[in-house]
Every structure is written in C-alpha cells, then in structure tokens.
Structure 1
Amino acid sequence: MTLAVITIDGVRVDSAERVPSIAAVLERHRNSRRELQWIVRTCTDCVDFGQDNAAFDRRLAVATDAEHHARVAVLRHPANTLEEFAAKTQHICSLLLEDDDSLDKYELFSILQTLIAQPQSECQ
C-alpha cells in the first residue's frame, strides 16, 4: 500500500477538504453585508451624538475587509449547475436592487463572463 501526501508550498492538502457550497458562500456574503450596514448606521449615530468613534472605525475596517473577501468569494465561486447559476444570479440581482455601489463595472463584467463562459455540458 502506498501513501501519498500532497503539499502546496509546504502546506498539506487534505483530499477530504471540501469546497463550500454556493449557498454557504452567498450566505456568508449576506451576513457580512448586514454586519457592515449595521456598523455604518451605528457609526453615523455616534458621530451625530459626538461620541468617540475610534473603536467603531476599527470595527468598520474589519467589517469592510470581511465583506470584500466574501464578495470576492462569491465572484470566484464556480457555478456548475443551473441551480447554482440561478442562485448566484439572484444574489447579484438582489445587490443591484438594493442600489449596491460596492460592485463596480469590472466585477459585474466578471460575473457575466463567468455565467456565459461555462460550457453548456456543465450546466446539464
């Protein structure tokens, strides 16, 4: 019996490691957006009342970074079935309906490219 250990840049690759589902990736992005929106509202209230907002600035930076990483994960996550295409498209449409200005033209173009670049055989 032969045992093989696969590493990438010295880090062991676990063959049992699973890629998160599209639902998990989309939910993480929704949650990070909710957190970011809550912090922005709270920071606005603190500024209105003249409170020190250094702690909120740090939380805002962390939340902004988390939302950015979650958004990138959504953009990079492959849609391999029609259901995944539909879920990803519905999520992006909901962002656009919310007047989300965090998606720039390049990201929208990237989303459309990934949706149309998939071979038909992968969608069946």
Structure 2
Amino acid sequence: MSVQLNHTIVAARDKETSAAFLATMLGVPVGPRFGPFIPVEVSNGVTLDFIDAGGEPIASQHYAFLVSEGEFDAIFGRIREVGVDYYADPHHDRPRQINHRDGGRGVYFDDPNGHNLEILTRPYGSGAA
C-alpha cells in the first residue's frame, strides 16, 4: 500500500457549525458523528475530523483543496453568496481578488475558527508562474 493521508483533526469552537461551514462551502456532505468527531470527507477519501477545542486556544491551520475549474466556480460562488471575505494570498494582503498561479485559479478564506482555507485548480509548480 502506498502512503496516503487518511484524516486530520481540526480544532473548533463548535464542531457542528465548523463542519457544516466547510461542507457547505465545498459542496460535500457532513459525515455521521464518529466518537467525539464530526467528519467532512473530500473526494479522495481524506476526512477532516472536527472536534471541540474545549475552551483551549485554537492555532490557525492551513487546509488547501485541489478542485476542478467547475468546482472552483461553484465554491467561489458560495463564498461570495454568503459574504465570506476572500483573498488572493495566504497573508490576506490582496482582498477580494483571486490568484492565477501556475495557470490556474486560487483563493483563500477563513473558517469560523480562523483556519486559513484555500481552493486551487492547479497544484503548485505544475505550470507557468
């Protein structure tokens, strides 16, 4: 078997709200509760397992999702529809813009816990700068 990422745990103030936010933005379902976790599975079988942080500080993490051009349009449409701030860069220096790295499109936005989410249509290093 090759090495594959199976899941990661995502700290949240409210795991149900956070899982629902991500699932809604990506257009995927929220999975059934598994122990203390609320999973959101993406198409390559990886789950983001949301867990309540229990009042502990939440360190911001970065989660990037490779999507098709059509999925980008749909997700970006939902981001704008609900009024989520978005940026062309991970440091949020270029508001209300998308990037065109490697000949694709990308955008960054925050989840309710301050995690930096990204959607991109081309993997980094796969095309023109």
TM-score, normalization by structure 2? 0.30
TM-score, normalization by structure 1? 0.31
Structure with the larger helix share: 1
Structure with the larger strand share: 2
